[in-house]
């Protein structure tokens, strides 16, 4: 059971919470998510394909991320999600905040990290991920243009991430 803090239109905690899946986010309010874009020494970005079992946007490519649980920071979320979904320990001390944006009913804290990861050591969480790969910036742009990348993520970071 995940408990989320409810945020206002400015991204501030309201003091209210909700249980994921049991309640709807009230109209005009939000919860917090966190994403991490990992780039290796070959200047490629780690992307993962969402499991066909996912309720929202199955079988599309995405970065690693998830919802921030009550009492957790966004940095702790990217660390937890990367380990849960891919079995990878990331060096969160090196993570840099890129941006915060609002999409739908979610505020997203977006991080960037330079780290080499051996894909042969990735352990995919079957309910979340069905594939993982390193992709060049141009390849992700092409996947996005084909409608095969998760909505409301790449378009918010692609100009920023190009410079890292």
Domains of the chain: 32-161 (3.90.79.10)
Q: How far apart are CA 82 and CA 38, in angstroms?
A: 10
How confident is the model at residue 90, as a pLDDT? 97
pLDDT in the model for residue 76: 98
Residue 20's contacts (CB-CB under 8 Å, 6 or more residues apart) are 1, 2, 3, 4, 67
Stretch 81-108: mean pLDDT: 96
134's CB contacts (< 8 A; 6+ apart) are 40, 42, 44, 45, 46, 47, 119
- Does the pLDDT at position 163 exceed 80? no
| 106-114 vs 31-39, strand pairing mode | parallel
Which one-letter DSSP state was computed for residue 87?
-
**What's the predicted TM-score (pTM) here?**
0.93
Q: Is the pLDDT of residue 154 over 80?
A: yes
pLDDT class of 1 with cuts at 50, 70, 90: confident
For residue 46, give Cα distances in angstroms to 5, 37, 163.
29, 7, 16
């Amino acid at each position: 059971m995940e408990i989320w803090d409810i945020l206002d239109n400015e991204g501030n905690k309201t003091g209210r919470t909700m249980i994921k899946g049991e309640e709807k986010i009230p109209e005009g309010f939000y919860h917090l998510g966190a994403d991490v874009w990992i780039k290796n020494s070959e200047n490629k970005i780690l992307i993962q394909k969402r499991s066909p079992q996912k309720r929202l946007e199955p079988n599309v490519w995405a970065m690693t991320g998830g919802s921030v649980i009550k009492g957790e920071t966004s940095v702790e979320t990217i660390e937890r999600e990367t380990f849960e979904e891919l079995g990878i320990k990331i060096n969160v001390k090196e993570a840099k905040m890129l941006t915060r944006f609002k999409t739908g009913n979610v505020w997203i804290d977006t991080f960037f990290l330079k780290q080499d990861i051996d894909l042969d050591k990735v352990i995919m969480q079957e309910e979340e991920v069905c594939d993982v790969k390193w992709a060049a910036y141009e390849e992700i742009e092409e996947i996005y243009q084909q409608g095969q990348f998760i909505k409301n993520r790449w378009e918010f970071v692609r100009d920023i991430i190009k410079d890292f």
